[in-house]
Amino acid sequence: MSSPARICIDSTTPAASVEMKGPAMEPKPVSSVDNALHVLQLFKSRRVLRVADVADDLGVARSTAHRLLVALVQRGFAAQEPVTRAYIPGPELTEIGLAVVDMLDVRGRARPFMTALADELHETVSLVVLEGANARFLDAIESPHVVRVSARTGQVLPAHCVSGGKVLLSILSREAVDSLYPDDELPTLTPQSISTKKQLFQALDEIRERGYSTNELESEPDVSAAAVALEMAGSLAAVTVAAPTSRVPMGSTGSLGVEVQRIVANLRNGDGSTTISA
């Protein structure tokens, strides 16, 4: 689950770029996958689909269209009406749509906090949400420094190995955390990562006490970070600030955490709709 080193160094020499056009650059889609996605797109304009409709739109045999629809039903992306036997959008499509809307909403509400942190601290700021025992990086503002921690947007890492994940875990009850980590031994990304459930519970107690979390080389070498949690209209997320250890050496992440906490608290006081949770 580890990722390559995230320290980024800008070059003043522009890199050469090669633009290639033509059919050779277009990857050929897997026909069955492409057809299934085409069926899902049909739901955008039609409330109900029938086997004959799908076969005509895709230019395939009715038996092929039927197999595609059955596969979508099995995965929850479609459902079959008991009386008409026609196909309608399934619950999984609704869940995905709601999840995307919620993520976009969280990003919009968190952006003022991210901007304030980036403007004052000049380090890379990320927005993190919890997905089970993992932390997903939703958004980022990269540091203007030549040497900086690059954005992790889109990455998913073990929550106990990153500051944003740990501060969100600290909000959960002990029972909830215990259910996320059934084993005493935890996966690690570096030698500094939390490696046991006992260590994790101790770290979460400390985070609850001080109101922020830190990361000293726990997710990758040469990276320090600190995070606080945000509760925004019922949605939970964390804002993290990450810097190379050359600027925030080991032992100094606590000071970074205090600064992150201060900046977020000051902005929160000007906007009563958002509160800090830790």
Single-letter amino acid code for the residue at 176? A
For 244-265, what is each residue's pLDDT tens digit?
A: 999 999 899 999 999 999 999 9
Q: What is the pLDDT of residue 5?
A: 44
pLDDT higher than 90, residue 227: yes
Q: What is the pLDDT of residue 154?
A: 87
Task: State the Cα–Cα distance between residues 73 and 85, nearest whole angstrom.
Answer: 12
Q: What is the pLDDT of residue 47?
A: 81
Domains in the chain (CATH in brackets) are: 30-89 (1.10.10.10), 102-277 (3.30.450.40)
pLDDT higher than 70, residue 8: no
pTM recorded for the entire structure: 0.66
> Of all helices (H) and strands (E), which one includes residue 140?
strand 134-141
Mean pLDDT for all residues in the chain: 85
pLDDT (mean) for 120-148? 94
pLDDT higher than 80, residue 158: yes
Helix 51-58, helix 31-42: angle, nearest 10: 120
pLDDT (mean) for 147-174? 95
**Angle (nearest 5°) at CA 104 between 98 and 110:** 130
